[in-house]
Copies of this chain bind each other. A is one copy, B any other.
Amino acid sequence: MPTIKDVALQAGVSATTVSRVLNNRGYLSEELKAKVYGAMKELNYRPNELARSLSRSKSNIIGLIIPHVSHPFFGELAGHIEDHAYRNGYKLLLCNSQLDKSKELDHIDMLRASRVDGIIMGSHTLEVEAYNQIHLPVVAFDRKLSDDIPYICSDNYKGGLLATTLLVDKGCRKLAHIGGHPHLNVLSLERYRAFQDIVEQRGIWHTSLHTDINGFNFHEYERLLEVLFQEHPDVDGIFASSDVIAAYALKACHESGRRVPEDIKIIGYDGISLRGLLTPSITTILQPIEAMGKLAVDLILEQVEGNSVVMEHVFPVELELGGTT
């Protein structure tokens, strides 16, 4: 690959001048610019971003750590993040943590070594201390990591309220909740808190199952549903904390001869675009995924520019009625 010196030679100017043209600094005649750009084109020259990043101490790379891109929710989120980063001249380094602590730590280390300008954490299986030592712009999804790491989430409590209320109002009397492990300190647990508040307040029978709602091991969901129907065959309403789980619940109902929504009702959470693909389409709580991804990038950029940012970003949720309620 040609270097700036090759371009300088070709154009008959100095390397400094080429750099000036490249960065539009100082006085530059149209003539000179044409000459330099011409030489670049002839040599098919691209400035070495590694060298630029090194001398500027800025890589224009954002790191993204999520459980796994193959999970529909995170795939969509990652897609929006890449789109928005690209529009702002940033590149995206993608990391799947697979919800494995050592992998997540490795990835954080690697991103720091790569001198990314910031990290978006969609996975956070570690202790808060680990995140405080990053010393880089960070944005977290769905978890408050510390007082100076901004976080983005949907209005989880409200979403849980809407979902549970709908099930109860539609006549469900034996409710099951399927959500994340309580020991993971994520904000989506608020959905469960809302569920509990409603069922207890209305005196409704309920049970709750826990799993990795952001995991990628979909077979676990199938087993979970099996267990649920075995232990509580007369459950008539399920609030699943992700659309993927809701989809598996729907499938389990079909396979066990339960009619949805007549015998049992199901509501999910997330609003992944694949929700419309199912029959019946699942009732769900919509999170504004695109806006959330876009904001994550913006919050990194603001921090990169040294601006102070608001720490808490709660996005409104919306109930979307489908055919499962």
Contact = CB atoms under 8 A, between A and B. Distances in A.
A109 B45 CA distance: 10
Interface in A117-142: 133, 135
Given A79-B68, A254-B279, A94 B92 contact: yes
A310 interface: no
A94 B75 contact: no
Contacts of A79: 68-70, 96, 216
Nearest to A85: B94
A59 interface: yes
Q: How many copies does the complex hold?
A: 2
A278 B277 CA distance: 8
Interface string A83-101: 1001000011111101000
A250 B273 contact: no
Contacts of A277: 218, 244, 247-248, 251, 278
Contacts of A247: 277
Q: How large is the interface on A (under 10, 10 to 19, 20 to 34, 35 or more residues)?
A: 35 or more
Nearest to A280: B254
Given A76-B70, A277-B248, A50 B53 contact: yes
Contacts of A279: 250-251, 254-255, 278-279
A181 interface: no
A140 B30 CA distance: 40
A304 to B, nearest CB: 15
A112 B69 contact: no
Contact of A114 (B49, B68, B83, B94): B49
Contacts of A48: 54, 113, 115
Given A218-B273, A218-B276, A277-B244, A94 B113 contact: no
Interface string A265-286: 0000000011011110000000
A308 interface: no
29 contacts: A1-B112, A44-B133, A46-B109, A46-B112, A46-B113, A49-B113, A49-B114, A50-B54, A50-B114, A51-B54, A54-B54, A68-B79, A69-B69, A69-B79, A70-B80, A72-B72, A75-B75, A82-B94, A86-B96, A91-B114, A92-B94, A93-B93, A93-B94, A218-B273, A218-B276, A244-B277, A251-B277, A251-B279, A278-B279
